[in-house]
Amino acid sequence: MSREHTPPTGSAAPEASYVRLLPGSRTPTYAFVHPVGGSVSGYVDVVAALPARTECVGVRARGLSPRGEPHHTIPTMAADYLDELLTHHEPENLVLAGYSFGGLVAFEMARQLRERGRTPAGTVLLGTYVPRHDVSRAERAATFARLISVIYRVPVERLRLHGLDDSGMVDRAAEVAERCDALPAAYRQADLRRLFQVLALNLRMAQEYDVPSYDGPVHLVRPERPDPQDTLHAWRSRCPAGVLTHDIGGEHNELMSGDHGVRIAQALAVLWPG
């Protein structure tokens, strides 16, 4: 799997979302949309377990570097990602897939493709829930803190985000993370405030996204825990062509890694044998 490449700061090239993860000649091509943190590095175990010669590409968030501005709505994000993807691939050869937040974006991309008169080879939601609109500020702050802890290994108890708005949460989290010895080496020289801003924006975008109807088939990969009881019903109410479920097991936060990632790759290979 190739590494994501970020040109040096000051480069004239605009920030691209499209990144090649694995070259290949088999069809279809899997396009993995970033989860809430913005990076596509979490797909490494799935990509590595796919059959030989499978082409995989990623779509990472804009705004992770100074050369790009982050998106503010999922429909706008999906439209821009589609435009970039379709300069490289025919839509009928693409399986659009996304983990958690990325599944919402992949779903919206598939829906917009149908509006353009085209249809992807498949749409896969990996542990993706239909978002709630009634999330309180305290709930969103707790989710933000949990994700900072999971992704960046910053202890939740050190964040103390209660009562802060999104900008305040981002500033506070960046200040704490910069002093955290457990911060992974890959992020030691990163602009943490920029990374955390993308995370906070994506959380807000998910809460505000009103999931529309989509008349193409959808595959829903589910973990064992947590899985709200109405998840399948919520997706089926928006997908009249049907939702096929694939139960992988395990925790939501571990769905893409280790044996669970291998099981996802095996399921994809069966669905689209090439």
Q: In the sheet where 218-222 sits, what is the strand order?
A: 18-22, 54-59, 26-33, 94-99, 122-126, 218-222, 243-247
Residue 40 predicted with pLDDT over 90: yes
Whether the pLDDT of residue 131 is over 70: the answer is yes
- In this prediction, residues 142-146 reach a mean pLDDT of 95
pTM (predicted TM-score): 0.92
Q: Output the six-digit token pair for 59.
A: 């779509």
The predicted model gives 107-130 an average pLDDT of 97
Task: Please state, as a whole number, how many other Cβ atoms lie within 10 Å of the Cβ of residue 26.
Answer: 16
Side chain identity at 146, as an amino acid letter? R
Average the pLDDT over 77-90 and give the result.
96
Give the chain's mean pLDDT. Answer: 92
User: What number is the average pLDDT over the span 30-41?
Assistant: 97
Lowest mean pLDDT across 5-9, 111-115, 239-243, 265-269: 5-9
**What is the pLDDT, as a whole number, of residue 212?**
97
Of 17, 19, 26, give the one whose Cα is nearest residue 50: 26
The pLDDT value recorded for residue 15 is 83
Distance from C-alpha of 212 to C-alpha of 245, rounded to nearest angstrom:
19
Say if residues 87 and 94 touch (Cβ distance below 8 Å): no
Give residue 9's pLDDT.
45
Domain 18-130+211-271 has CATH 3.40.50.1820: yes
Whether the per-residue pLDDT at 206 is higher than 60: the answer is yes
